[in-house]
Amino acid sequence: MRPKGRARGRLRGVAIDALIDAAALAHSGEEGLAAVKASYAKRIFEKANIKKPYEYRLIYCRKCKKISPIGISRRIRLRKGRIVFRCEICDGVYRKMVSKS
Ligand SMILES: [Zn+2]
């Protein structure tokens, strides 16, 4: 059974904390540990059916589904009004349009 109500809110906090820890570990060079922590966070998000906030969704690569923080294993470029994220693990590219103002 999926957790509901308060339990779900609590799980959301736990999962986001784990994700932040994973990103911090990746930045301090502990990539193995970061991957374990990220997969743990991902499992909670999936199990409790919680939507990840957009900025946290960007931590994972869209193609290989691994944790790939910006500045560690992902490069960002601006090109023709788009933000281009390139994963260095799988060479996957994710483009995000930037609205012109
Ligand atoms: Zn990737």
Domain ranges of the chain: 5-97
Q: Average pLDDT in the 50-76 region?
A: 85
pLDDT for 1 equals 64
The DSSP code for 5 is H
Give yes or no for a contact between 69 and 59, defined as CB atoms under 8 angstroms apart.
yes
What is the 5 CA–ligand 1 centroid distance (Å)?
34
Q: Is the predicted pLDDT of residue 2 greater than 80, yes or no?
A: no
How remote is the CA of residue 75 from the centroid of ligand 1, in Å?
A: 11
Residue type, 8: R
- 3-state SS class at 21: helix
The rounded Å distance from CA 90 to ligand 1 centre is: 4
Encode pLDDT of 72-88 as tens digits. Answer: 888 999 988 899 999 99
Query: In the chain, what is the straight-line distance between the N-terminal and C-terminal CA atoms, in Å?
Result: 46
Q: How far is the CA of 38 from the centre of ligand 1 (A)?
A: 14
Residues near 37 by Cβ (< 8 Å), separated by ≥ 6? 18, 19, 21, 22, 25
Q: How far is the CA of 11 from the centre of ligand 1 (A)?
A: 26
Q: Is the pTM of this model over 0.75?
A: no
Q: How far is the CA of 96 from the centre of ligand 1 (A)?
A: 16
